[in-house]
Amino acid sequence: MELKRVVVTGLGALTPLGNTVGETWENLVNGVSGAGLITRFDATKFKTKFACEVKGFKAEDHMDRKEARKLDLFAQYAIVASRQAIVDSGLDLETVDKDMVGVVWGAGIGGLITFQQEVASYAGGDGTPRFNPFFIPKMIADIAPGHISIEHGFHGPNYGVVSACASSTQAIIDAMTLIRLGKANVIVTGGSEATIAESGIGGFNSAQALSTNNEEFESASRPFCKTRDGFVMGEGAASLVLEEYEHAKARGARIYAEVVGGGMSADAHHLTAPHPEGLGAKLVMRNALKDAEMKPEEIDYVNVHGTSTPLGDIAETKAILDVFGDHAYNLNISSTKSMTGHLLGAAGALEAMVAILSVVNDIVPPTINLKELDENLDPKLNFTFHKAQKRVVNAALSNTFGFGGHNASVIVKKLVD
């Protein structure tokens, strides 16, 4: 069968750099760090005392207070970002066929804050089970797409995707596939995460994954830098409205870009560490290129997973050199996690949005915070250090890799009729 084309018609974002797409993009291009000392709890006794928090968010500004109490923070973020994307898309919710509108959403963990609060309350009591009746529906990772569909009456495919830090990239790929196959005309997709809590910071500290550079917290997320010592926790949400091309064209929609390919793979190597030679990363990028029917030379920009971990940055760079060959030196490469921190399950959606806006605006956001390039990395590669660079971006690839060895890559490009 002939696959249908898939385009992006709406974007929404709630991030450490801004509570809208426009604010987030402006700060990304300007190289602003979203890191700060943790305000959500007293982090005095924790190895890491900083994170990239969403700033100025109040649930009551967006929903009834009673309704907000039924939602974990990650679901609140999902609802707000998806509303933005739906409004941005210009969809007429009165006339659109809601049986053909779905929601596919990614979250690596889900309601961690709710889980922590409920268990702590029980453990601090006398053993009598007193749990919030909304405990389970607040906690489960798939509840975010459920809430989005209920709010808007979308009856199409609806589910959550959980694959650690690859979750929302895989959600985008699933959404693309459903539209390609004619299972839906429109899919609201993306991801959200809210894990800046004692259990989130403490757990990742125990895994030795987080930076502990409390003296230089604003610049602690430093991908490719010799002095990097782990990732910086981020939070928030990003949402994309994906739409079948003819459906979008028929209603006169503004189209940002076309989603042309997605790849998935597994490292099959280690619970938390990447394959040292980047085998899974090589495979996932090749799978995405094959799916898009594109040659490596057609990619202009790679938004790397680039978490600022000692092993991950090296493995991913090896994979890029292997997949792109000499063309790797013509690429712009950047890690926007240097500014946003790592949004875990929401990272893929945010970074896909960055790739889309790079294609739209012909600007590549920078990798900030470099002090000294890791000697294991090729200095001839263009990591877009310090400042955004203007260049024609016809096509961009975004990588995400998750604990468990889950890898996902998505490719977007300028629409050509």
Distance of alpha carbon 20 from alpha carbon 286, whole angstroms: 33
| pLDDT tens per residue across span 359-413 | 999 999 999 999 999 999 999 999 999 999 999 999 999 999 999 999 999 999 9
pTM of full prediction above 0.95: yes
Structure confidence at residue 274 (pLDDT): 84
> Which amino acid, one-letter code, is at 103?
V
Catalytic choice (152, 275, 305, 406): 305
Catalytic choice (147, 247, 342, 406): 342
pLDDT of 272 > 90? The answer is no
Our answer to whether residue 165 is catalytic in this structure is: yes
Q: Range with the lowest mean pLDDT among 229-238, 268-277, 313-322, 371-380?
A: 268-277
Q: Are 212 and 47 in contact (CB under 8 A)?
A: yes
pLDDT of 94 > 90? The answer is yes
Our answer to whether residue 342 is catalytic in this structure is: yes
Catalytic choice (165, 225, 247, 275): 165
Question: pLDDT-derived band of residue 76, with 50, 70 and 90 as boundaries?
Answer: very high
* Rounded mean pLDDT, 323-345: 98
pLDDT of 5 > 90? The answer is yes
Give buried/exposed letters for 176-209 (b at 16+ CB in 10 A, else e): bbbbbeeebbbbbbbbbbbbbbbbbbbebbeeeb
* Rounded mean pLDDT, 328-342: 98
* Rounded mean pLDDT, 44-63: 97
Token digits of residue 387: 């400042």
pLDDT of 324 > 90? The answer is yes
CA quadruple 355, 397, 350, 199: dihedral sign: negative
Residue from 19, 11, 25, 15 nearest 243 by CA: 11
Distance of alpha carbon 172 from alpha carbon 409, whole angstroms: 10
Q: How far is CA 276 from CA 27, 280, 373, in A?
A: 33, 10, 19
The values of phi and psi at residue 187, to 5°, are -130, 125
Q: What is the per-residue DSSP string for 325-347?
A: GGGGGGSEEE-THHHH-B-GGGH
Q: How far is CA 120 from CA 112, 113, 137, 284, in A?
A: 12, 11, 18, 40
Our answer to whether residue 147 is catalytic in this structure is: no
